[in-house]
Structure 1
Protein backbone atom coordinates (compact mmCIF):
# COMPACT_ATOMS: atom_id res chain seq x y z
CA UNK A 1 0.00 0.00 0.00
CA UNK A 2 1.30 3.45 -0.91
CA UNK A 3 1.89 5.84 2.00
CA UNK A 4 2.35 9.58 1.68
CA UNK A 5 3.14 12.04 4.45
CA UNK A 6 2.49 15.75 4.53
CA UNK A 7 2.36 18.82 6.73
CA UNK A 8 1.53 22.49 6.85
CA UNK A 9 4.10 25.29 6.55
CA UNK A 10 4.36 25.93 10.32
CA UNK A 11 4.53 22.20 11.14
CA UNK A 12 1.51 22.18 13.44
CA UNK A 13 -0.50 19.81 11.22
CA UNK A 14 0.90 16.47 10.08
CA UNK A 15 -0.96 13.76 8.20
CA UNK A 16 -0.59 10.60 6.16
CA UNK A 17 -2.51 9.28 3.18
CA UNK A 18 -2.66 5.49 2.89
CA UNK A 19 -3.53 4.26 -0.60
CA UNK A 20 -3.15 5.27 -4.21
CA UNK A 21 -4.23 8.42 -5.97
CA UNK A 22 -6.65 8.02 -8.88
CA UNK A 23 -5.99 11.34 -10.59
CA UNK A 24 -3.90 14.50 -10.41
CA UNK A 25 -5.64 17.58 -11.79
CA UNK A 26 -4.32 21.07 -12.41
CA UNK A 27 -7.51 23.10 -12.04
CA UNK A 28 -7.72 26.52 -13.69
CA UNK A 29 -11.22 27.46 -12.47
CA UNK A 30 -11.69 30.91 -10.89
CA UNK A 31 -12.42 29.33 -7.48
CA UNK A 32 -9.05 27.57 -7.46
CA UNK A 33 -7.27 30.70 -8.70
CA UNK A 34 -8.79 32.69 -5.83
CA UNK A 35 -8.08 30.10 -3.16
CA UNK A 36 -4.46 29.47 -4.22
CA UNK A 37 -3.61 32.99 -5.36
CA UNK A 38 -2.01 31.38 -8.41
CA UNK A 39 -2.75 30.24 -11.95
CA UNK A 40 -4.17 26.89 -10.86
CA UNK A 41 -4.56 24.41 -8.03
CA UNK A 42 -2.64 21.12 -8.15
CA UNK A 43 -4.75 18.47 -6.39
CA UNK A 44 -4.50 14.69 -6.09
CA UNK A 45 -7.74 12.72 -5.80
CA UNK A 46 -8.48 9.27 -4.37
CA UNK A 47 -11.72 7.40 -3.82
CA UNK A 48 -10.01 4.60 -1.88
CA UNK A 49 -7.18 6.19 0.14
CA UNK A 50 -7.47 6.84 3.86
CA UNK A 51 -6.55 10.21 5.36
CA UNK A 52 -5.12 10.08 8.90
CA UNK A 53 -4.23 13.14 10.96
CA UNK A 54 -0.98 12.51 12.87
CA UNK A 55 -0.79 15.89 14.67
CA UNK A 56 -2.65 19.17 14.85
CA UNK A 57 -6.08 18.01 13.66
CA UNK A 58 -7.68 20.70 15.85
CA UNK A 59 -5.79 23.33 13.78
CA UNK A 60 -7.46 22.20 10.54
CA UNK A 61 -10.21 24.52 9.37
CA UNK A 62 -12.37 24.20 6.25
CA UNK A 63 -14.35 26.47 3.99
CA UNK A 64 -16.93 25.39 1.42
CA UNK A 65 -18.02 28.03 -1.07
CA UNK A 66 -21.81 28.28 -0.67
CA UNK A 67 -23.75 26.73 -3.52
CA UNK A 68 -20.72 24.79 -4.82
CA UNK A 69 -18.65 21.67 -4.09
CA UNK A 70 -15.53 23.86 -3.87
CA UNK A 71 -13.89 23.16 -0.52
CA UNK A 72 -10.59 24.20 0.99
CA UNK A 73 -9.05 22.84 4.17
CA UNK A 74 -6.18 24.78 5.73
CA UNK A 75 -4.11 25.27 8.86
CA UNK A 76 -5.71 27.98 10.99
CA UNK A 77 -2.25 29.19 12.08
CA UNK A 78 -0.26 29.45 8.84
CA UNK A 79 -3.00 29.16 6.18
CA UNK A 80 -1.35 26.27 4.33
CA UNK A 81 -3.63 24.18 2.13
CA UNK A 82 -4.37 20.74 3.59
CA UNK A 83 -6.22 17.59 2.50
CA UNK A 84 -9.97 17.28 2.78
CA UNK A 85 -12.58 14.54 2.56
CA UNK A 86 -16.04 15.06 1.19
CA UNK A 87 -19.22 13.24 2.15
CA UNK A 88 -18.53 10.52 -0.45
CA UNK A 89 -15.12 9.74 1.12
CA UNK A 90 -13.29 11.36 -1.78
CA UNK A 91 -9.87 12.44 -0.46
CA UNK A 92 -8.45 15.59 -2.09
CA UNK A 93 -4.80 16.38 -1.37
CA UNK A 94 -3.10 19.61 -2.46
CA UNK A 95 0.11 18.30 -4.05
CA UNK A 96 2.27 21.00 -2.49
CA UNK A 97 1.50 19.96 1.10
CA UNK A 98 3.04 16.52 0.65
CA UNK A 99 6.48 15.88 2.13
CA UNK A 100 6.92 12.65 0.16
CA UNK A 101 7.37 12.46 -3.60
CA UNK A 102 4.46 11.65 -5.87
CA UNK A 103 5.44 9.56 -8.88
CA UNK A 104 2.20 10.39 -10.68
CA UNK A 105 2.29 13.14 -13.31
CA UNK A 106 -0.69 15.44 -13.74
CA UNK A 107 -3.58 13.61 -15.38
CA UNK A 108 -5.08 16.70 -17.01
CA UNK A 109 -5.58 20.44 -16.87
CA UNK A 110 -9.24 21.19 -16.15
CA UNK A 111 -11.45 24.27 -16.47
CA UNK A 112 -8.95 25.74 -18.94
CA UNK A 113 -11.64 28.08 -20.30
CA UNK A 114 -11.09 30.06 -17.06
CA UNK A 115 -7.29 30.02 -17.38
CA UNK A 116 -5.58 33.25 -16.31
CA UNK A 117 -4.36 34.99 -19.51
CA UNK A 118 -0.83 35.42 -18.11
CA UNK A 119 -0.46 31.71 -17.32
CA UNK A 120 0.11 30.85 -21.00
CA UNK A 121 3.37 32.82 -20.94
CA UNK A 122 4.92 31.10 -17.92
CA UNK A 123 7.07 28.84 -20.11
CA UNK A 124 8.73 31.91 -21.66
CA UNK A 125 9.84 33.40 -18.33
CA UNK A 126 13.51 33.12 -17.34
CA UNK A 127 14.37 30.55 -14.65
CA UNK A 128 16.47 31.00 -11.51
CA UNK A 129 17.42 28.35 -8.93
CA UNK A 130 16.78 30.87 -6.13
CA UNK A 131 15.70 34.47 -5.70
CA UNK A 132 17.16 36.61 -8.55
CA UNK A 133 19.65 39.29 -7.53
Structure 2
Protein backbone atom coordinates (compact mmCIF):
# COMPACT_ATOMS: atom_id res chain seq x y z
CA UNK A 1 0.00 0.00 0.00
CA UNK A 2 1.23 3.47 -0.86
CA UNK A 3 0.83 6.50 1.38
CA UNK A 4 1.44 10.17 0.69
CA UNK A 5 1.06 13.61 2.18
CA UNK A 6 1.33 17.32 1.51
CA UNK A 7 4.35 19.44 2.47
CA UNK A 8 2.97 20.52 5.86
CA UNK A 9 1.50 17.11 6.73
CA UNK A 10 -2.06 18.38 7.14
CA UNK A 11 -3.28 16.07 4.35
CA UNK A 12 -2.42 12.37 4.36
CA UNK A 13 -3.74 9.84 1.85
CA UNK A 14 -3.34 6.19 0.98
CA UNK A 15 -3.85 4.21 -2.19
CA UNK A 16 -5.98 1.11 -1.79
CA UNK A 17 -4.78 -0.32 -5.12
CA UNK A 18 -1.92 -0.20 -7.57
CA UNK A 19 -1.54 2.79 -9.90
CA UNK A 20 -2.86 2.02 -13.39
CA UNK A 21 -0.99 4.72 -15.35
CA UNK A 22 1.97 7.01 -14.73
CA UNK A 23 3.04 9.89 -16.97
CA UNK A 24 5.08 13.06 -17.20
CA UNK A 25 2.64 15.73 -18.43
CA UNK A 26 4.05 18.72 -20.34
CA UNK A 27 0.75 20.61 -20.84
CA UNK A 28 0.72 24.34 -20.08
CA UNK A 29 -1.68 23.93 -17.15
CA UNK A 30 0.57 21.39 -15.42
CA UNK A 31 3.59 23.61 -16.07
CA UNK A 32 1.82 26.59 -14.49
CA UNK A 33 0.46 24.60 -11.57
CA UNK A 34 3.81 23.04 -10.68
CA UNK A 35 6.12 25.85 -11.78
CA UNK A 36 8.15 23.20 -13.57
CA UNK A 37 8.78 21.78 -17.03
CA UNK A 38 6.34 18.93 -16.42
CA UNK A 39 4.28 17.20 -13.73
CA UNK A 40 4.46 13.49 -12.91
CA UNK A 41 1.15 11.86 -12.07
CA UNK A 42 -0.11 8.37 -11.31
CA UNK A 43 -3.72 7.44 -11.99
CA UNK A 44 -6.09 5.01 -10.35
CA UNK A 45 -9.84 4.72 -9.76
CA UNK A 46 -11.05 7.40 -7.34
CA UNK A 47 -12.57 4.65 -5.21
CA UNK A 48 -9.00 3.47 -4.48
CA UNK A 49 -7.90 6.83 -3.04
CA UNK A 50 -8.58 7.38 0.65
CA UNK A 51 -7.79 10.57 2.51
CA UNK A 52 -6.95 9.42 6.03
CA UNK A 53 -6.23 12.87 7.44
CA UNK A 54 -7.13 16.40 6.44
CA UNK A 55 -9.57 15.77 3.60
CA UNK A 56 -11.20 19.08 4.53
CA UNK A 57 -7.90 20.85 3.81
CA UNK A 58 -8.00 19.77 0.17
CA UNK A 59 -9.17 22.75 -1.87
CA UNK A 60 -10.21 22.23 -5.47
CA UNK A 61 -9.72 24.66 -8.32
CA UNK A 62 -11.68 24.36 -11.58
CA UNK A 63 -8.80 24.81 -14.05
CA UNK A 64 -10.89 24.11 -17.15
CA UNK A 65 -14.44 23.15 -18.08
CA UNK A 66 -13.88 19.50 -17.11
CA UNK A 67 -10.83 19.43 -14.81
CA UNK A 68 -10.46 20.22 -11.13
CA UNK A 69 -7.08 20.35 -9.39
CA UNK A 70 -6.76 19.67 -5.67
CA UNK A 71 -4.17 21.18 -3.36
CA UNK A 72 -3.58 21.65 0.37
CA UNK A 73 -5.10 24.95 1.48
CA UNK A 74 -2.40 25.32 4.16
CA UNK A 75 0.88 24.75 2.29
CA UNK A 76 -0.25 24.81 -1.36
CA UNK A 77 1.05 21.33 -2.23
CA UNK A 78 -0.46 20.03 -5.45
CA UNK A 79 -2.14 16.70 -4.74
CA UNK A 80 -4.54 15.64 -7.49
CA UNK A 81 -6.50 16.40 -10.60
CA UNK A 82 -9.78 14.93 -11.78
CA UNK A 83 -11.45 15.03 -15.18
CA UNK A 84 -15.22 15.01 -14.82
CA UNK A 85 -15.58 13.42 -18.26
CA UNK A 86 -13.44 10.42 -17.25
CA UNK A 87 -15.90 7.52 -17.59
CA UNK A 88 -14.14 5.28 -15.06
CA UNK A 89 -13.88 7.90 -12.33
CA UNK A 90 -10.09 8.05 -12.25
CA UNK A 91 -8.07 10.47 -10.15
CA UNK A 92 -4.47 11.51 -10.89
CA UNK A 93 -2.12 12.08 -7.95
CA UNK A 94 1.24 13.80 -7.92
CA UNK A 95 3.90 11.10 -7.59
CA UNK A 96 6.22 13.46 -5.68
CA UNK A 97 3.77 13.56 -2.73
CA UNK A 98 4.19 9.82 -2.07
CA UNK A 99 5.92 9.04 1.20
CA UNK A 100 6.39 5.34 0.46
CA UNK A 101 8.79 4.07 -2.19
CA UNK A 102 7.37 3.87 -5.69
CA UNK A 103 9.49 2.07 -8.25
CA UNK A 104 8.78 2.58 -11.93
CA UNK A 105 10.88 3.05 -15.03
CA UNK A 106 10.16 4.17 -18.55
CA UNK A 107 7.50 6.77 -17.75
CA UNK A 108 5.90 8.14 -20.93
CA UNK A 109 5.93 11.87 -21.66
CA UNK A 110 2.54 13.24 -22.73
CA UNK A 111 1.36 16.58 -24.16
CA UNK A 112 4.86 17.03 -25.56
CA UNK A 113 3.65 19.59 -28.10
CA UNK A 114 3.80 22.04 -25.14
CA UNK A 115 7.25 20.87 -24.01
CA UNK A 116 9.40 23.74 -22.76
CA UNK A 117 12.31 24.55 -25.05
CA UNK A 118 14.64 24.66 -22.04
CA UNK A 119 13.71 21.16 -20.84
CA UNK A 120 16.44 18.62 -21.69
CA UNK A 121 13.95 15.76 -21.51
TM-score by length of 1: 0.80
Other-structure match for 1:43: 41
> Is the radius of gyration larger for structure 1 or structure 2?
1
8 Å CA contact 2:68–2:82 kept in 1: the answer is: no
| Number of matched pairs | 118
Structure 2, unpaired ranges of 5+: none
TM-score by length of 2: 0.87
Higher strand share: 2
The two structures, once aligned, show a CA RMSD in angstroms of 1.9
Alpha-carbon distance in structure 2 between the residues aligned to 1:43 and 1:52: 17
Matches within 5 A, 1:1-133: 3-47=1-45, 50-67=48-65, 69-87=66-84, 88-120=88-120
Distance 1:106 1:98, change over 3 A: farther
